[in-house]
A = this chain, B = another copy of it.
Amino acid sequence: MDVARSEVLVISTSVACRSCQARHGVVCGALSAGQLSELGRHSLRRKVDAGCEIIAQGSENSFYSNITRGVVKLCKVMSDGRQQIVGLQFAPDFVGRPFVRESTLSAEAATDAEICVFPRNLLERMILETRELQRSLHAQALNELDAAREWMLTLGRRTAEEKVASLLHLIAAHAETATSTAFDLPLSRAEIADFLGLTIETVSRQLTRLRKEGVIRIENIRHITVPDMDALAKKISG
């Protein structure tokens, strides 16, 4: 997303922030009706296509957002092009790093998504003013920290097969279907590789291996079925 353009849009909008309320967004869920109305006057509901960069690594944090639909990937890239996905976020997560000027990572829509965009200054003021918002963002930060550390174990100590199984398990847990036994992958093979610290070839080979073992079925390139979730879980050494 282009920063200058987004600021123009923020100013021009005047509708209340209904999308977040509907999804119990982290931000809107913590605000009073009055605050919600003030925030709504300056916020913007925005559709972003898969691949759209919401925040660029190294750019100024000039706005924050709530995801209301879709999946966002957080990514770090090195100067020589190597890159690592360091987090996946799902609705209704908050996106952004409060209280730091420059972003150390990029946030990019992994699927088509919808976000609710808030101007930085207004939101930071509300965080400092509103205990419940602070508490709620603190809770999300702690949850993300738990997830990041769990993933550090996966990156540092699990085999390729365990890594792929871990990813499928993670996606299944966040899938929107009730059963979560069949789901769409929000990531391409290249993105999966960047999340797992592997190459696309290894990811592909491990997926076909899991398929041949009967642990998963690959309905098509982006759609997986897991006949027996326990069999998948057994692939991940605890």
Q: A65-92 toward B: CB 8 Å interface, digit per residue (1/0)?
A: 0000000001010111011101100000
Please, how many angstroms separate the alpha-carbon atoms of A141 and B84 in the complex? 21
Q: A140-171 toward B: CB 8 Å interface, digit per residue (1/0)?
A: 01101110111111011110000000000000
Of A14-22, A96-104, A173-181, the one contacting chain B is A96-104
Q: Is A222 an interface residue (CB 8 A)?
A: no
Q: Is A204 an interface residue (CB 8 A)?
A: no
Measured CB to CB, the closest approach of chain B to A234, in angstroms, equals: 12
Please, how many angstroms separate the alpha-carbon atoms of A137 and B145 in the complex? 13
- What's the tally of chain A residues with a CB closer than 8 Å to chain B? 43
Q: Is A117 an interface residue (CB 8 A)?
A: no
Residues of chain B within 8 A of A216, CB atoms compared: none
Q: Is A223 an interface residue (CB 8 A)?
A: no
Q: Is A131 an interface residue (CB 8 A)?
A: yes
Flag if B149 contacts A82 (CB, 8 Å).
no
Please, how many angstroms separate the alpha-carbon atoms of A196 and B155 in the complex? 10
A-B complex: 4 closest residue pairs judged by Cβ atoms: A156-B197, A148-B148, A155-B155, A86-B149
A interface, CB within 8 angstroms of B: 74, 76, 78-80, 82-84, 86-87, 97-100, 104-105, 128, 131, 134-135, 137-139, 141-142, 144-146, 148-153, 155-158, 194, 196-197, 237-238
